A and B are shown apart, each in its own frame.
Chain A
C-alpha cells in the first residue's frame, strides 16, 4: 500500500472517531446552536446595531475552531492510553501519522462547521452563498492550523497529561476574546493597547469571521489579500503544530515513552 493511502486510512479512522464521540457532539452542537439562536438574538435586543447579523457568521468560525481543537484531545488520548504505540507499529512514517491527524482534524472541523453554516444560512439571509465555496479551501487550511495549535498543546502537555485541558481552555479563551469574533474592531480599537489591536486584527479567527461576514453574508466582492492573510496566519501554526507532534512521536519511538 502506498504511503498516501495509509495516511488517508488513518485520517479516516480519526475523522470517524470525532463524530462518534457523543458527549462532544452534544456539547458542540448545543453550544454553537444556542450561541447562534439564543445569544445572538437576545444580545441584539440589548444593542443598537444588528448583533444577530454580526455574530451568526462568527459562530460558524467558532464551531470550526472548537472542532479543530478537538484534534489535540484525540492526540492527548492516544498518548495517554498508549494507542500511539500501536500507531508507531503501523507501516506508516512518523510524518505520515502527523499529516493524517492534521488532515482529519481539518476535515472534521470543516464538516462540522459546514453543518453550522447551513443552519446560519436558514437563520440569516446570505447575499453570496457561492462565495463560501471560494472560502472553503482557505477555511480548511485554517482548520488545519487550529488543529496544529491543538497538537502543539497536546505535545506540550504530553508529560503532564492532565494539563492539556487547562492549556486548551486558556488558548481558546485568549484567541476568542482577543479577536473580532464577538465585537467589531472599532470597539476593540477604543479599548485595547496597540499591540493587542494588532493581535486581534491578525488573529486567524478574526480574519475568518470577517471573511464570512463580508463575503458570504454581506455579499461584498472577495479580496484576494484577505484570503492570502488567512493563509499566512494559518500556515505557520500548522507547521509548528506538526513539528511539535513529530518531535513527541520521535521521542516515543526512541525511548519507548516520554
Chain B
C-alpha cells in the first residue's frame, strides 16, 4: 500500500504546487451557481422545480465528478503518449497496485475538487441529515470511479490514435452531460432525448444524489434502479480497465 500511496503522491503533488486547477474549479462553480444558476432560476417557472438554483448546484457537482473521471482516463493516455507508461509498467509493483494507484489518484483529485462546491451546495440546501450527505458522497465517488473506469477502457483507442481518443472523449463527454438529467429533470426532456438520457450513467448519478439530498422524488428516477446501474457501471468498467492493464506490456507506445 505504501508503494501505491507513493505513486499517488508523486502525481498529485504536481497539481498541488500551486493548486491552480482546484482554485479555478471552485471559482467557476461559485460564479456559475451564484450568477448563472441564480438568474436562470428566476426564469424557470415549472411548478415541479421549486428552486432551480439548488437543482443546478447538484447538477454542477455531478458534472465536476464526471470531469474528474474523464481526466483520469486522459491522464493515463498522456502517460502513454509521453513515454511515462512504459516506465510505470516496469516498476516492481503489481499491475493491480498500479491500477489502484491510478483509480485512487482520481479519487483524491475528486475529493479535493468537490470540497468547496459540495460545502456550498449543502449550505444552500440546508437542513440535511449526516447519513444522507454521506450516502450522496459515496454515490459521487461511485460515479467518479465508474466514469474513470469507462474512460480508462476507452483510452485503449489512444494506442491507435491519441488524437482520435481526445476527439471522441471530449465530444462524447459534452453529449453525455447534455443528454442526461444533470441540468434538467427527465420529465422535461422530449421523448427522443429522454430515451438517450435513460442510458446515460450521469442521469442515474444525478438523480440518486438529488434523491439522497431530499429533492422531490416525483421528478427523479427510481433510486433502486439508479443504485443498480451505478454499481454495475463502477464494477464492470473498473474490471474492464484492470483486465486491459494486465494485458499491457512494457514498451507500449501510443500513436
Contact = CB atoms under 8 A, between A and B. Distances in A.
Given A46-B44, A166-B20, A26 B35 contact: no
A166 B43 contact: no
Interface stretch (B104-112, B115-123, B171-179, B210-218): B171-179
A162 B36 contact: no
A182 B39 contact: yes
A43 B40 contact: yes
Given A42-B184, A46-B188, A187-B43, 5 more contacts: A29-B171, A34-B175, A38-B178, A43-B43, A182-B40
Contacts of B188: 42, 45-46
A80 to B, nearest CB: 15
B39 A23 contact: no
A191 B38 CA distance: 9
Interface in B14-55: 20-21, 24, 27-28, 31-32, 35-36, 38-40, 42-46, 49, 52
Counting contact residues on chain B (CB < 8 A from A), the size range is 35 or more
B225 interface: no
A220 B61 CA distance: 41
Contacts of B49: 46
A15 B143 CA distance: 40
B21 A166 contact: yes
A31 B184 contact: no
A254 interface: no
Interface of B is mostly: helix
A47 B44 contact: yes
A92 to B, nearest CB: 30
Given A46-B52, A188-B39, A23 B45 contact: no
A190 interface: yes
A43 B174 contact: no
A22 interface: yes
A1 to B, nearest CB: 33
A45 B171 contact: no
B163 A22 contact: yes
Nearest to B174: A30
Interface residues of A, number: 36
Contact of B39 (A27, A174, A191): A191
B166 interface: yes
B116 to A, nearest CB: 16
A183 B24 contact: no
A99 interface: no
Which of A23, A29, A39, A174 has most chain B Cβ within 10 Å?
A23
A34 B176 CA distance: 10
Interface in B62-119: none
B229 interface: no
A169 B183 CA distance: 20
Contact of B193 (A26, A38, A169, A177): A38
Contact of B174 (A27, A42, A49): A27
Nearest to A47: B43
A192 to B, nearest CB: 8
Nearest to B189: A42
A26 B170 contact: yes
A183 B39 contact: yes
Nearest to A184: B43
Interface string A18-60: 0000110111011100110011011101111101000000000
A173 interface: yes
Nearest to A48: B45
B128 interface: no
A176 B245 CA distance: 41
Q: Top 3 A-B pairs ranked by shortest CB distance?
A: A26-B171, A23-B166, A34-B178
B190 interface: yes
Given A27-B171, A41-B190, A170-B28, A46 B184 contact: yes
A190 B42 contact: yes
Contacts of A75: none
B168 interface: yes
B35 A51 contact: no
Interface in A154-175: 162-163, 166, 169-170, 173-174
Contacts of A178: 35
Interface in A216-257: none
Given A26-B168, A30-B174, A191-B38, A177 B24 contact: no
B43 A27 contact: no
A22 B27 CA distance: 29
Given A162-B20, A166-B24, A177 B175 contact: no
Interface in B104-158: none
B82 to A, nearest CB: 14
A43 B178 CA distance: 11
